């Protein structure tokens, strides 16, 4: 048993070292490419490790998730007299849901990472539903919360949200898409996501990038607790996030509506305006 634990520990360390090395190789490659395009100065690369370590340390020592303050803001906006009580109820409900998504942070599928936030949203919805709020009001509060959370607070954040679109038609971008496609195409957990990345330009309105979600972890989570009718609220957020990236989303249907998949296709906003 001790030998097995040591073996697992050693593999874990090697995996962590490899992950960090690959991560920074990608960052440096992207930085070099952007520098050649005149969009970045290589000198900035020296401050990236400092920023990364600072952010990592901050996240490690900070117990409260970054998204929680936006839930607090929404509750104070809509329910000023009961905000603290509601937030306490949401925290308690989230604690009960947390075990369902405990795999998300370490899942091999990067799409599963969003499930922790989704569980907190489900907790919000459950608390408001039990308090007697109707679907329309719950939708309003939920959309206010998520748009505030996702909204870029600085020009730098806005730039980062549009960066993937700038890279998508480059060699670096296509390479990163291949890596991403391999990861999301495999199930990290039975309760998580599975997606197929589409790169055929004929199937993606010339962009060379589209997504078919075959298994939706959010749908599974909500359905498990008989709250599947509320999943459509989170589906609405996709249009907002797509817009922040400088794209317009084209989607015919979703798993939440009973379809076999969620088909995400995109167009550059400039192409639509032309």
Strand partners, 194: 215
Burial 22-31 (b: 16+ CB within 10 A, else e): eeeeeeeebb
Write down the pLDDT at residue 7: 42
Write down the pLDDT at residue 77: 97
Question: Residue by residue, what is the 3-state secondary structure of 121-156?
Answer: HHHHHHHHHHCCCCHHHHHHHHHHHHHHHHCCCCHH
**Residue-level pLDDT, tens digit, the chain, 274 residues:** 334 333 434 444 455 556 666 666 676 666 666 666 665 555 555 555 555 555 655 555 556 789 999 999 999 999 999 999 999 999 999 999 999 999 999 999 999 999 999 999 999 999 999 999 999 999 999 999 999 999 999 999 999 999 988 888 889 989 999 999 999 999 999 999 999 999 999 999 888 999 999 999 999 999 999 999 999 999 999 999 999 999 999 999 999 999 999 999 999 886 444 4
Write down the pLDDT at residue 68: 95
Write down the pLDDT at residue 38: 64
Write down the pLDDT at residue 176: 92
Enter the tokens of residue 69: 């303050």
Sheet of strand 262-268: strand arrangement? 194-198, 210-215, 262-268, 247-250
Write down the pLDDT at residue 166: 87
Strand partners, 211: 197, 264
Whole-number Å distance between alpha carbons of 231 and 218: 7
Enter the tokens of residue 237: 């957020």
Phi, psi (deg, nearest 5) at residue 148? -65, -40
Instruction: Decide if 112 contacts 192 (C-beta within 8 A).
Output: yes
């Amino acid at each position: 048993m001790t030998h097995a634990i040591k073996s697992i520990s050693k593999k874990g360390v090697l995996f962590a070292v490899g992950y960090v090395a690959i991560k920074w190789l990608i960052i440096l490659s992207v930085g070099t490419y952007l520098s050649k395009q005149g969009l970045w100065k290589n000198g900035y690369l020296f401050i990236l490790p400092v920023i990364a370590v600072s952010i990592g340390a901050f996240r490690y020592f900070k117990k409260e998730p970054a998204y929680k303050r936006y839930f607090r803001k929404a509750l104070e906006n809509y329910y000023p007299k009961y905000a603290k009580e509601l937030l306490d109820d949401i925290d308690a409900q989230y604690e009960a849901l947390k075990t369902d998504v405990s795999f998300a942070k370490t899942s091999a599928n990067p799409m599963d990472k969003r499930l922790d936030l989704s569980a907190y949203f489900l907790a919000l919805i459950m608390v408001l539903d039990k308090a007697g709020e109707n679907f329309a009001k719950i939708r309003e509060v939920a959309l206010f919360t998520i748009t505030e959370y996702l909204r870029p607070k600085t020009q730098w954040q806005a730039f980062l949200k549009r960066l993937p679109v700038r890279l998508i038609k480059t060699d670096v971008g296509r390479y990163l898409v291949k890596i991403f496609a391999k990861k999301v195409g495999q199930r990290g957990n039975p309760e998580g996501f599975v997606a197929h990345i589409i790169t055929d330009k004929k199937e993606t309105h010339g962009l060379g990038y589209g997504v078919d979600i075959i298994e939706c972890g959010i749908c599974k989570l909500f359905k498990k607790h008989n709250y599947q009718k509320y999943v459509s609220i989170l589906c609405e957020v996709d249009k907002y996030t797509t817009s922040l990236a400088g794209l317009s989303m084209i989607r015919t249907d979703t798993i939440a509506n009973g379809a076999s998949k969620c088909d995400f296709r995109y167009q550059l906003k400039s192409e639509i305006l032309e």
